[in-house]
């Protein structure tokens, strides 16, 4: 049985911070080549290591 989850995040910050987060979310939404987890990881992190099957193996912080 699948577990479907939905999360909501409220971001409080200055206009520049909100625009940055909006642009990252847009990258996730416009990423056609990846699944949702790799798309999210590559939009929010610079050093994402991908596995052979396309999954996320490691995220450098």
Tens-digit pLDDT profile for residues 30-60: 877 667 778 888 888 887 777 777 666 666 6
Whole-number pLDDT of residue 29: 86
Q: Are 48 and 56 in contact (CB under 8 A)?
A: yes
Given CA atoms 32, 50, 48, 1 in this order, what sign does their dihedral have? positive
* DSSP conformation class of 53: T
What is the pTM (predicted TM-score) of this model?
0.58
Condensed to tens digits (0 to 9), the pLDDT of residues 14-38 reads 999 989 989 988 888 887 766 777 8
- The C-alpha atoms of residue 49 and residue 32 are separated, in whole angstroms, by 18
Residue extents of the structural domains in the chain: 15-60
The length of the chain, given as a count of residues: 61
Whole-number pLDDT of residue 16: 95
């Amino acid at each position: 049985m699948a577990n479907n989850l939905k999360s909501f995040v409220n971001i409080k910050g200055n206009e520049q911070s909100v625009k940055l987060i909006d642009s990252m979310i847009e990258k996730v939404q416009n990423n056609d080549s990846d699944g949702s987890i790799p798309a999210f990881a590559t939009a929010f992190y610079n050093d994402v290591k991908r596995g052979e099957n396309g999954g996320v193996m490691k995220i450098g912080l």
